[in-house]
Amino acid sequence: MLDDFLALSSILTGVGDLDPALGRHYLDRLKSTPFAPAILEILRRFHEFQPGPTLADEVTQQLVSDDNLRPTLTQVVLLWYTSAMHDNDGMPATLRYGTQDEYFSGLGWRILGAHAPGLSGGYFGHWRYRPENEPRMEGQ
């Protein structure tokens, strides 16, 4: 089940090297919420798909286009990017974030090339200087 969750998550997020330990936490969180029936149905259906170059298209056609499953698929993306889950279906929707490690591991920060809000990772004033890991463009 975890392998299917990671493969599906890679398709949904567009990121291929997802952390399996983090994936286990996210899957467990989903299974302990009202999202549980939908995520189990999604993974059951995904398991039946044939691997290959059309897998992402099949996910879009068979899962994302299903109005009953889309909220859970959206939740999977939200988890990976921010570690947050919708706390309820009511309005206003509230978000519940994961552990500190989950929050700081959010794909959003990695893709943006930024630290997570609340974690500077540097001394006072460090933001004035170019990060050491920032790629340099020609002419800079």
Please give the C-alpha separations between residue 124 and each of 33, 54, 77, 83, in angstroms, as whole numbers: 40, 49, 33, 27
| For residue 20, cis peptide bond before it (omega within 30 degrees of 0) | no
Cβ atoms of 72 and 39 within 8 Å: the answer is yes
**Exposed/middle/buried for residue 63 (C-beta within 10 Å: 0-12, 13-18, 19+):** buried
- Give the number of other CB atoms < 10 A from CB of residue 90: 8
Quote the pLDDT of residue 118: 65
Quote the pLDDT of residue 130: 72
Quote the pLDDT of residue 122: 62
Q: Tell whether 133 is covered by a domain.
A: no
Domain count across the chain: 1
With tokens 């006072």, the residue in question is 124
**What would the pLDDT profile of 35-66 be if each residue is shown by its tens digit?**
899 999 999 999 999 888 889 999 999 899 99
Q: Tell whether 52 is covered by a domain.
A: yes
Structural domain range at position 87: 2-113
Quote the pLDDT of residue 105: 84
Q: Tell whether 131 is covered by a domain.
A: no
Cβ atoms of 31 and 75 within 8 Å: the answer is no
**What would the pLDDT profile of 69-109 be if each residue is shown by its tens digit?**
999 999 999 999 988 887 665 556 677 888 888 888 888 88
pTM of this structure: 0.77
Quote the pLDDT of residue 85: 86
Q: Tell whether 138 is covered by a domain.
A: no
